[in-house]
Amino acid sequence: MRILLVDDETELTDPLSRLLIREGYTVDAAYDGENGSQMAKNTTYDLLILDWMLPEKTGLEICQELRQQGKATPVLFLTAKDTLDDRVQGLDAGADDYLVKPFELRELLARVRALLRRSPTQTAANSTNRIKVADLELDIENQVAYRQARIIELSQKETQLLQYFMENLGNLLTHTQIMQHLWQEEEQPSSNVIAALIRLLRRKIEVGEQTQLIYSVYGKGYRFGINE
């Protein structure tokens, strides 16, 4: 997924770009509104992160131009403007979300994930990157699951493990199979890591009286599915 970040504060833009890249996104950066506007027009992005106040052309103007051209790319504003009138102006210009500086990086990443799930360029891809078993649905691309109206944020390993389980519905998967699948070329951790990872996954997808999905097969491994 490709993100355009436009902000003239290099002390924010550069580390934020590195953070997003570490999260697995492709990031292009611009430091003024004119360059940002040209990049947004000439390249297909899944998300635009725009500072409101930019030299040469404001983020508000960039957003308005894109909407006038019929582009539905999600836009997240980063701004120090925090009055109600400012928020309304930004949303009326076509912004999808609004984050006031200074902000927590965790909140920014959560909003990025939420907007990317709605991105029109991801709709077709997401339809082929989703798996559903009973009332549990996994969105592989965005590392999130859904169960009974709950949104379940997952780590990369939890996503890989849940995908492996769902693609092998009803099959016994041994500790060795799971270890080799999750780590492949990487150095494999100690064997108790699998048990810990599955314990964490269970806590997320099996809450309260929800039907159990992950079953331990004593001395052998695990089986995923619903016992009839």
Specify the DSSP class assigned to residue 73: -
- Which of residues 67, 91, 124 is at a domain's end? 124
Report the b/e string of 168-195 with b at 16+ CB within 10 A.
beeeebeeeebbeebeeeeeeeeeeebe
What's this model's pTM, rounded to 2 decimal places?
0.53
Residue 169 · residue 144 · CB < 8 Å: no
**For residue 85, how many other CB atoms are within 10 A of its CB?**
8
Query: 134 and 201: one domain?
Result: yes
* Boundary residue ending a domain (90, 124, 158): 124
Per-residue pLDDT of the chain (228 residues; tens, 9 = 90+): 789 999 988 888 888 899 898 888 889 999 998 999 999 988 888 899 998 888 888 888 998 888 888 778 889 988 877 667 767 777 777 888 888 888 888 888 888 888 887 666 555 444 557 888 888 999 888 889 999 878 899 998 999 999 999 989 889 999 889 988 888 766 667 668 888 999 999 999 998 888 899 999 998 999 998 765
167 and 113 in a common domain: no
Number of domains making up the chain: 2
Is the domain of 209 the same as that of 167? yes
Residues 116 and 150 in one domain: no
Residues 111, 70 within the same domain: yes
Query: What are the residues whose beta carbons fall under 8 Å from the beta carbon of 104, sequence distance 6 or more?
Result: none
Token couple for 66 = 């894109």
Pair (145, 158) in one structural domain: yes
Cis peptide before 15 (omega within 30 of 0): no
**187 and 210 together in one domain:** yes
Question: Which residue range forms the structural domain that includes residue 182?
Answer: 129-224
Determine the Cα–Cα distance for residues 48 and 51; give it in Å rounded to an integer.
Answer: 10
H helices, E strands: number in the chain: 9, 12
* Single residue among 124, 152, 178 that ends a domain in this structure: 124
CA 51/CA 13 separation, integer angstroms: 10
Q: Tell me the CATH number at 217.
A: 1.10.10.10
Based on the fold, state whether residues 195 and 118 are members of the same structural domain.
no
Residue 17 and residue 119 in one domain: yes
Distance of alpha carbon 202 from alpha carbon 183, whole angstroms: 20
CATH code, domain carrying 82:
3.40.50.2300
